[in-house]
Amino acid sequence: MERILTKELHSHLNQSATLKGWVDVRRDHGKLMFVDLRDRSGTVQLVILPAHEEAYKAAQDIRAEWVIEIEGEVHARPEHMKNEKEDNGDVEIEVTALSVVSAAETLPFERNTEVNLDTLLDYRPLTLRNDRERRIFKVQSEIVNAYRDALRKRDFIEFQAPKIVGGDAEGGAHVFKIEYLNDKTAYLATSPQLYKQVMVGVYERVYSIGDVFRAEKHSTTRHLNEYTSLDAEMGFICDHTDIMDLLSDVLRDIISELKKSTKEVFDDFGVSLPKCPEKFPHMKLKEAQELIYKETKEDCRDEKDLAPEHERWLSEYAKKEYDSDFIFITHFPREKTAFYAYDDPEDEGYTKYFDLLFRGVELCSGGQRMHEYQKLKEKMVWKGLDPEKFEFYLQAFKYGMPPHGGWGMGLERLTQKFLNLENVKEATLFPREINRIDARLSESE
Amino acid sequence: MERILTKELHSHLNQSATLKGWVDVRRDHGKLMFVDLRDRSGTVQLVILPAHEEAYKAAQDIRAEWVIEIEGEVHARPEHMKNEKEDNGDVEIEVTALSVVSAAETLPFERNTEVNLDTLLDYRPLTLRNDRERRIFKVQSEIVNAYRDALRKRDFIEFQAPKIVGGDAEGGAHVFKIEYLNDKTAYLATSPQLYKQVMVGVYERVYSIGDVFRAEKHSTTRHLNEYTSLDAEMGFICDHTDIMDLLSDVLRDIISELKKSTKEVFDDFGVSLPKCPEKFPHMKLKEAQELIYKETKEDCRDEKDLAPEHERWLSEYAKKEYDSDFIFITHFPREKTAFYAYDDPEDEGYTKYFDLLFRGVELCSGGQRMHEYQKLKEKMVWKGLDPEKFEFYLQAFKYGMPPHGGWGMGLERLTQKFLNLENVKEATLFPREINRIDARLSESE
């Protein structure tokens, strides 16, 4: 008989069915045995009676996480046994045959046990089977889908950005070195930025979804050494506000798709889907600093960036004043932004750059980019970079580039903040960090 | 006035319109000037007359690849000037205003000039703007979309596999080393294989699309040091033939989507979309070798793998005998396949592994994987690997794993062979190779 899924049981009431899956829980009541069977679509309660001798015998051995195949009759449960809170809580299967597909050793802890972060990651192949973890990464996969759909419908083309790069594009220090072929040194890309810009010259509108790498040693709740970046770049813009509008629309689309696909996960996690006003509020860094000073008496007006506590304060302010979970902070100083950030001629010393804050953290950064060949080269020199090392990239500008801009947004942080998880690593399948690449590094060497 | 695209011109006949784009070609006829304007959707001919003085003056400077903005009247061309072969060959725009958005320097060669592979790659940011290159990577992006859709509709979940790994999973030599944090050494993943298998334990059906890395020094027309791998893995299979059937269906879906989205590219390239019979033909390696011996008298019956010429011969055979561009070769020897390949108990010494040949090359490899914990550990030892180094991965098997299998398929090679390109680098945006990471390595150091 062909396998059916637990989610299909209602169309097989009072019929025989074959199911396959994992033993979620096994409860031995002596005369009869209950087993919750789990497959990719949900769970169902199996009833195993001594009357079905072979099945009953086979069921003696099975334990949690064993993989089994069963045949049985699908029944509606008696009224008083129905449980609305349970998946398939109104049906059960009387098992007539049971075979073990694959045994499991005794678990270090039961499925769905709450453990600390280190244990969660030490046992990742097992803890990913928890309801909570399965839901987190289901949401993550839906975010990726919705992101892609939002851009595709706006005429964006997907491309694959290389991860091995010849130089450290941004001129920063936090880059991983690779032993490339023939004793050459290469690096791991910290972003697909330069390639996105090249691709604007080809298709005007492009996006890419892929891993980027930061060789930073900090161990915080919001940093990773490898993460998935949701990138986009668009040509023929007026300025950075076109990019901010597009990003707002894309986020709105993602949220509305999540409402359709995984609303119940948000309910289970006790978090509400983000609030988006008609237009996301925005202010310049200087204005934000003045506001913080006025309202809190804390003086950060000479700072070139926002401190984490100010990001949190501004997020709360946006929520209170605009009923928005999002707020854009624009115009950061030239010294603090990358060489490709567009200098605002009307605000000397500042660039048409933005950070998007969401529930207290920077969710995304972006802005308009330099597109004039000569000015771009001058900016590089001003930044202490050697334009000759960027000759390949600079071709895009030498041979005609429209005004353009875009953003980069970390998928894991987006997932974390949407689901209100404490640590970004909870939203990362296999986090790379200072002390861990799957196994803990100190132990594995 | 809001910008319209060249593809929207027909709904603006006899109206004014604003367009933005690149100067594709400029033809100065003295009294009047023609400019082909290119945007992301196509091209259109602009007519610039001395009567519109300012525009005519501005047009004197412009050259190929300059970015311009124009206003003008959209006209139907006189009957005898219509050109069916041209994009928008039945309309033209009489320009009333023209401004330069961004200048370009003189090109090293005209757009669409045929150049050798090295020049094509040296000038990648420019040559990607060729019609041919734009089409190749449009097809590539459609392949990725179709691949994803084909799996999503079959209940597969996408996940992000890490690229930094702690060890060389397959035990092979061709792996890039990374200087990880705190003087630890890490590696670039040669495939997401181990993570896919872990994820089968979580969701049963998963896929991932991402870069993989091979530190191989060869310089052939079909190898890359970094490429995008289209991966999938599925649990609860009977054997490798379930995977072969699924792969056939996915490829059929991709081909049918390409027929809808980019059929005209295939026509332009003079290649036909691949032929898929009802069922893709398949044979065991041994049978293939016997067949080759019988038909060609060439004796490769003792070989453990197929030589490129035998892959070509088998592809031609499949075409002739089954009218199929595809043929599966299964059951490769245990020594030649990875530790996770499933040993066929009915064919001692061989595994339930397959290569899918397509138009003369291996397009994809896959098969059933070992899922029994003890046997998998034994196989590792037999392969000379230390199971202790795989403890993290092995948890998936220790705690109950169903029979499963999957494949990995190179996106660039797929694009290359579908479009019948000579070299896989033509189907790679920014190929990483022994002598090149964007710029040529010998020159850049």
pLDDT in tens, B93-115: 999 999 999 999 999 999 999 99
HEC profile of chain A: CCECCHHHHHHHCCCEEEEEEEEEEEEECCCCEEEEEEECCEEEEEEECCCCHHHHHHHHHCCCCCEEEEEEEEEECCHHHCCCCCCCCCEEEEEEEEEEEECECCCCCCCCCCCCHHHHHHCHHHHCCCHHHHHHHHHHHHHHHHHHHHHHCCCCEECCCCCEECCCCCCCCCCCEEECHHHCEEEECCCCHHHHHHHHHHHCEEEEEEEEECCCCCCCCCCCCEEEEEEEEEECCCCHHHHHHHHHHHHHHHHHHHHHHCHHHHHHHCCCCCCCCCCCCEEEHHHHHHHHHHHHCCCCCCCCCCCHHHHHHHHHHHHHHHCCCEEEEECCECCCCCCCECECCCCCCEECEEEEEECCEEEEEEEEECCCHHHHHHHHHHCCCCHHHHHHHHHHHHECCCCEEEEEEEHHHHHHHHHCCCCHHHHCCCCEECCEECEEHHHHC
Query: pLDDT of B293-347, one tens digit each?
Result: 999 999 999 999 999 999 999 999 999 999 999 999 999 999 999 999 999 999 9
Catalytic annotation, residues of A: 214, 216, 222-223, 362, 365, 413
Whether residues A398 and B39 touch (CB distance < 8 A) is answered with no
Task: Over range A361-385, report the average pLDDT.
Answer: 97
Asked if pLDDT for residue B173 goes beyond 80, the answer is: no
- The pLDDT score that the predictor gives to residue B167 is 81
| pLDDT surpassing 90 at residue A282 | yes
Structure tokens that stand for A56 in this block: 């009953």
Q: Which pLDDT score is estimated for A173?
A: 63
**In chain B, whose CA is at the least distance from the CA of A438?**
B392
Kindly state the average pLDDT of the residues B47-74: 96
Sign of the torsion formed by the C-alpha atoms of A340, A341, A345 and A347: negative
- Decide if A392 and B199 are in contact by the 8 Å CB cutoff: no
Nearest to A400 among B67, B124, B444 (CB): B67
Q: Say if B100 is an interface residue toward chain A (CB within 8 Å).
A: no
Contact B396 A125 (CB under 8 A): yes
Give tens-digit pLDDT for A415-433: 999 999 999 999 999 999 9
* Cα within 13 Å of Cα(B159), Cβ side: 33
Give yes or no for residue B14 having a pLDDT over 70.
yes
Residue contact B144–A158, C-beta within 8 A: yes
- d(CA A282, CA A326) in angstroms, rounded, equals 9
As a whole number, mean pLDDT of residues A103-117 equals: 96
The reported pLDDT for the residue numbered A444 is 45
Place of tokens 């789990």: A38
Q: Return the pLDDT at A172.
A: 62
Cα(A381)–Cα(A97) distance, integer angstroms? 75
d(CA B233, CA B204): 8
| Residue A229 contacts residue A366 (beta carbons within 8 Å) | no
CA distance B225 to B435: 11
Six token digits for residue B418 = 């579908």
Task: Please report residues of B whose CB lies closer than 8 A to that of A65.
Answer: 399-400
Residues 229-268 of chain A with CB under 8 A from chain B are 236
Residue A272: is its pLDDT beyond 80?
A: yes
Worst-scoring range by mean pLDDT, A246-260, B158-172, B252-266, B295-309? B158-172
Tell me which amino acid residue B227 is.
Y
Burial B165-197 (b: 16+ CB within 10 A, else e): bbbbbbeeeebbebebbeebebbbbbbbbbbbb
Check pLDDT > 60 for residue A5. Answer: yes
Beta-carbon neighbour count of residue B352 at 10 Å?
A: 26
Given a contact cutoff of 8 angstroms between Cβ atoms, the answer to whether B394 and B215 are in contact is no
Q: Rg of the Cα trace of chain A?
A: 27
**For testing the chain A interface, which of B40, B110, B227 should be mutated: the one with the most A CBs within 10 Å?**
B40
pTM of the model: 0.97
For residues A94-99, average pLDDT: 97
Closest CA to B58 of B104, B92, B98: B98
Q: For chain A, what is the mean pLDDT?
A: 95
Structure tokens at A32: 């009869």
In the three-class reduction of DSSP (H, G, I as helix; E, B as strand; rest coil), residue B103 is classed as coil
ipTM of the complex: 0.96
